[in-house]
A and B are shown apart, each in its own frame.
Chain A
Amino acid sequence: MNKQLRIGSGIGIGIVLLLGVCLLTDCKGGKKAPQEDLEVDVKDKEAILQDIRQAEKIFQALPSPLESAMLIKSAGARFEEKLLNPVSAVKNYVTNKAMALNLGIYTCDLSFASLYEQTQLLIDYMNAAKKMADGLGILKAIEQEDIDRLEENINNSEVIMDIVSQTFMNSNSYLEDNGQPATAAIVLTGGWIEGLYISTQLVDMNDFNGNKLVGRIIDQKLSIDILINLLNGSKGNAAVDEIILEVTRLKNVFDKIKIDTTPVRPEYDPESKSTVLKSEIKTDMTPEVFMELSEIVKEIRNSFVI
């Protein structure tokens, strides 16, 4: 059984045990049941707990907007403001779906601006993300003091990244904890699509072969199934169902890209005190497949920011 991990299973157990007690005692409300009737048979309790244990808990972890932006920068891409979703568009987003998608998109844009030290843009995008979070009713995701702190530390990239990471965590944890996993999944989708859109737009077709950014785009094939599984966890939600259709079109193009990896060999590196997962990779994406991918990403992203 695939179940997104978000509920406090301790509470779940409490409810199950409580209902179990109630059923076993015939739910005689009002009358005080004899003590022996209230004791759940140990075997029954074990069986209930066994059922709960078997409920598989699965996290589908997409790259966060901050990680996506970092990957673009590390590939040597340049900054292009015109690729970002203008902050003036915030007034267009009034539905939950549009606000959730654009919370992810603006968070990716603000991460991108922060990594390229675009200080004024960074504050503008933080304000845009705040409007989306406020519109979704996410309490305390981005507070005025975060924006003030950002302004005070505008030249300290470490503090800026901490603030961006913390505000994003506040949003997604609020949504997960308050029973809104569909909205949380839509926010992540918005951020991921924006990262992919910016990357694909920055590729210079005259420098396609061996382009590091193209390599990062190919890597996203490894995340497309994670994204679909994440969205499938909220299947039945109308907004999510629409997004699944769009993302499936994207998956069909990613399926044309071949990735062959040799078996992974873990080796401990005493110098860096970390494990190196060694493997060789061979990928194959033609410029034609890239153009197709780029077009579909652009279409999907533009439909998100309208």
Chain B
Amino acid sequence: MRSVKTILLPAILLIALTGYVNAQCKAFAKRECLPKLISYTHDGNYHAAILVEGEEAELYKTFYSDMDYRVSIVGDEKLPDIEFRVLDSNKNVLYSNKDKNYSNTWDFKLQSSQQLKFIIKVPSATRSGQTPVNGCVAIMFGFKLKR
């Protein structure tokens, strides 16, 4: 019985903390990611999570030919610079922020509507034996009618 308590109590406490951590992540997204969409209208969707160094996330979204877009991808300051690549449906790389000094925004528009895939990576900067760092990464899209 004591063993069960040893496992469950801290686990319950940690799960209870999840809500708090998620709320922190949302606050981070609103504070750090959203303002970078300035002059674009945020689409209202929310994509954010806590990622560990070395971890990757993928995002699929359709973009339309009538719009100008800005993506803002921002990681917690504890994390190394976030890398992201944008691929078309044939897996051709269309953009990599690694070539743009890890810029956390990208402005783009499309001649014809396309589904694009975003690969977001937290590079690993931790030496062997050290615990990898984790932190919030937020991804937000803004749009405006094409000029």
The prevalent SS among residues of A at the interface is helix
Chain B residues with CB below 8 A from A223, complex form? 62, 115
Interface string of A1-45 (1 = CB under 8 A from B): 000011111110111001100100001111000000000001001
B88 near A264 with CB under 8 A, answer: yes
B43 and A280: CB pair below 8 A?
no
What interface size band does chain B fall in?
Answer: 35 or more
Given contacts A277-B114, A279-B112, contact A70 B145 (CB under 8 A): yes
A58–B58 touching, CB < 8 Å: yes
Complex interface: stretch among A84-92, A163-171, A290-298: A163-171
CB-based contact B114/A165 at 8 Å: no
Count of residues in A whose CB is under 8 Å from the partner chain: 74
A276 vs B107: C-alpha distance in the bound complex, in angstroms? Answer: 9
Contact among A14, A22, A56, A66 for B44, CB-based, below 8 A: A66
* A210 at the binding interface (Cβ < 8 Å): no
Does A64 belong to the interface (CB within 8 Å)? yes
- Hey, which chain B residues are within 8 Å of A266, CB to CB? 94-95
A120 to chain B, nearest CB (A): 22
Partner of A56, one of B18, B56, B92: B56
Point out the residue from B43, B47, B52, B110 that lies within 8 Å of A165, measured CB to CB.
Answer: B43
Q: Is the CB of A53 within 8 A of B41?
A: no
Q: Assess whether B54 is interfacial by the CB under 8 Å rule.
A: yes
* Contact A49 to B52, CB < 8 A, known contacts A61-B47, A61-B141, A277-B111: yes
Bound Cα distance from A15 to B111, whole angstroms? 47
For A50, the closest partner residue in chain B by CB is B54
Q: In the complex, how many angstroms separate the beta carbon of A24 from the nearest chain B beta carbon?
A: 12
A interface residues (Cβ-Cβ under 8 A, vs B): 5-11, 13-15, 18-19, 22, 27-30, 42, 45-46, 49, 52-53, 56-67, 70-71, 74-75, 158, 161-162, 164-169, 172-173, 176-178, 216, 219-220, 222-223, 226, 229, 261, 263-264, 266, 272-281
Residues of chain B having any CB pair with chain A under 8 Å: 2-7, 10-11, 14-15, 17-19, 21-23, 25-26, 29, 41-52, 54-62, 64-68, 88-90, 92, 94-95, 106-115, 128-129, 131-132, 134-135, 139, 141, 143, 145, 147
Listed A/B pairs (14) with beta-carbon separation below 8 Å: A9-B50, A10-B135, A11-B18, A56-B58, A57-B49, A58-B57, A61-B60, A61-B141, A71-B67, A222-B115, A264-B88, A272-B107, A277-B94, A280-B112
Given A57-B55, A66-B41, 14 additional A-B pairs, CB 8 A: A5-B47, A7-B50, A11-B21, A49-B132, A61-B45, A61-B141, A165-B41, A165-B44, A168-B44, A176-B46, A222-B114, A263-B92, A279-B111, A280-B111
